[in-house]
Structure 1
């Protein structure tokens, strides 16, 4: 737990067995440290670092067990999710953060350019997913968070987890993958065709490609987040596939894969230079196939910059 209060230096609370590594990782006297030993109560130590009736922001990914322990030790304290109380602090990236996100995106792009030269037909989804994970690490990711490989009808599930299905000639395959490089996230999606696509597959891919471009083209400072969703969704709806676009158009990205801002109807937050988020419309035809195209973009002073640069066309793989 990192305790940040206005009347004390930043203090990192760690298990005693982790303290040496934690102090070495910081590399400078930027923090003070507190610890607890196995068999003692970490919440008693934590309560000495916090004000009894203080109000605190807490990480979105904090364990419920830890929050309940803090509440029991400090019953007069209160807590709010950092997403709610500090959304802009996380959403707007500085130059160093943008450089890290760009490096992560470039590494993911290199992984894609390699995977399309590997064999798909006759292999299980899990095998292709393992190749993608290896490529992400090869090109600099220290952590792989997900490698979605949705072939044929499995591609109609937006968050399908790679399984034992054997990829066949004629399949479309949704590839959605990412992780962390230099502590910041990558997240990109392309859809490939195993062999030449049929007319319907090409049509749906063309619609999604146009929708994704419409979403990107709508990005500029001052535009409401929901307008990015509206721009992409309008293209898909006009083509007759509106009900098959099942999710929001985008999510913010930074030290976590999903964070504010969200490109979704009802989100009126205006875009600000330095915001980074995905633009990822899709069409999902149950029992047939799915198509999704995703780039990470950042808002610039006068428009938008893409952090993924691989071709959006329907690549044919073997």
Structure 2
């Protein structure tokens, strides 16, 4: 694995790439019975235009994607130079509004008075309410509700970035196995994970979960001041962004020799994770991945201790649709990328979780994380 100083650069996305994404969103919106799609600052805007305002402020920024007009990006006048510099800017018409004028009136000029629109989940309530004030007959729906697969299917460039991020996370795990755990605080090991992720090319570290002993029974435990002890089971869950795309992997290790119970629980989770990955293939509903992993754990008598969904999508954010959860009937499509991460959590005692990012291929699934999933021992 190359480090940050020698890693190959990602292939830049082009104006044509961004234009194609916008055209696809327009078509998807029309197919969903919408009059248009409204995109505010956040991951959707970055994915569609490469534009991320210096700060997401109270000033309205909005991309309008409608069937009857070219893509239009409305920005505050003082932020226009930054918007013009974005890679996707040539594929849009830029319009600005000045402080002291009403941005919602400027926005309404590009919308139907009775239109039905999907709006970014990250949109500020004040902006949505502002639009509703000037267009009281218009209606709005969240992306998750109407366009849940907006960013779900990755192209080859995106897959390359996710693959590189996964390999960097794997290299981080390989190295953390050689770090001393016992006698150190969870925050110390979390800091080691963050440093290693950056050394292997991550430009952003989003989370470094280190759940030792009873803390491992909390799936979203924040690394704290607990001193790790010999005999502890330790859940490691870490990731961030590399080339703008996410990594996310979990492994559970033991400090010194594990108990027979820890070995048993870990093996059940490993088998469940394997079953979830083996269930991946095109056309299979997302919920079947959850069912496959959950069945192994339930059959082993720990069903009530598996307290979360089996997986989530990943891309320009580490959590996004699709979700591997009961009730999600969206079929898998080649190019989708998501986690498979079953776990067992025994309150007050310990937890075990194993997680890989998986992409759907033409006939199965391919892991983007490839470190050993068997229980590893650390000092």
In the superposition, the TM-score normalised over structure 1's length comes to 0.93
Alignment of 1:218-237 (within 5 A): 218-237=279-298
In the aligned structure 2, how far is the partner of 1:149 from the partner of 1:31? 44
Task: Say whether the 8 Å CA contact 1:220–1:304 is kept in structure 2.
Answer: yes
Alignment-derived partner of residue 19 in structure 1: 80
From 36, 50, 56, the counterpart of 2:117? 56
1:188 counterpart = 2:249: yes
Equivalent residues in 2 for 1:149-164 (5 A)? 149-164=210-225
Residue 319 of structure 2 is matched in structure 1 by: 258
Q: Is the 8 A contact 2:313 2:319 kept in 1?
A: yes
In the alignment, the residues of structure 2 paired with residue 100 and residue 90 of structure 1 have an alpha-carbon distance, to the nearest angstrom, of: 14
Which of 117, 124, 130 aligns to 1:69? It is 130
2:185 match: 124
Partner of 1:111 in structure 2?
A: 172
Unaligned runs of 5+ in 2: 1-61
The range that moved more, 45-54 or 240-249, is 45-54
- Other-structure match for 2:302: 241
Q: Does 1:278 align with 2:339?
A: yes
Superposition pairs of residues 200-211 of structure 1, within 5 angstroms: 200-211=261-272
> How many angstroms apart in 2 are the aligned matches of 1:36 and 1:134?
42
Contact 2:284 2:332 in 1 (8 A): yes
| Residue 316 to residue 39, structure 1, CA distance change in 2 (3 Å) | farther
Q: Please give the alpha-carbon distance, in whole angstroms, between the structure 1 residues aligned to 2:211 and 2:333.
A: 34
Kept after mapping to 1: 8 A contact 2:167/2:369 = yes
Pick the aligned partner of 1:30 from 78, 91, 101.
91
2:208 to 147, 152, 175: 147
Please identify runs of 4+ aligned residues in structure 1 that moved more than 6 A.
none
CA distance in 2, matches of 1:38, 1:289: 55
Match of 1:198 among 256, 259, 277: 259
CA contact (8 A) 2:83 2:89 kept: no
Alpha-carbon deviation of 1:236?
0.9
State the alpha-carbon separation in 1 of the partners of residues 355 and 334 from structure 2.
Answer: 20
Q: What's the offset of the Cα at 1:40?
A: 4.3
Offset of residue 92 of structure 1: 2.0
Query: Matches of 1:278 and 1:106 in 2, distance apart?
Result: 15
- Paired with 1:183 and 1:57, the residues of 2 have a C-alpha distance of 25
CA contact (8 A) 1:36 1:42 kept: yes
Question: Aligned pair in 2 of structure 1 residues 28, 268: CA closer, same or farther (>3 Å)?
Answer: closer
* Structure 2 residue 187 is the aligned partner of structure 1 residue 135: no
Q: Give CA-to-partner distance per residue, 1:255-293, whole Å, 9 cap, x none.
A: 222222221122222222222111100000000000000
Change (3 A) 1:110 1:13: farther
- Aligned mates of 2:65, 2:255 — CA distance in 1: 52
1:7 to partner: Cα distance: 2.6
Distance 1:170 1:16, change over 3 A: farther
Q: Is the 8 A contact 1:221 1:299 kept in 2?
A: yes
Deviates more, 1:197-206 or 1:52-61: 52-61
* From 220, 227, 231, the counterpart of 1:166: 227
Q: CA deviation at 1:239?
A: 1.4
Number of matched residues?
318
- Which position in structure 1 is the counterpart of 2:353? 292
1:102 corresponds to 2:163: yes
Moved more, 123-132 or 236-245: 123-132
What residue in structure 1 maps to residue 7 of structure 2? none
Distance 1:65 1:135, change over 3 A: farther
| Separation (CA, whole Å) in 1 of partners of 2:191 and 2:124 | 29
Matching residue of 1:44: 105
Q: Secondary structure at the match of 1:67?
A: helix
Q: Check 1:88–1:39 CA distance in 2 against 1; reply closer, same or farther (3 A cut).
A: same
For the 8 Å contact 1:120–1:167, the answer to whether it is kept is yes
Structure 1: gaps of 5 or more residues: none
What is the root-mean-square deviation of aligned Cα atoms in Å? 1.8
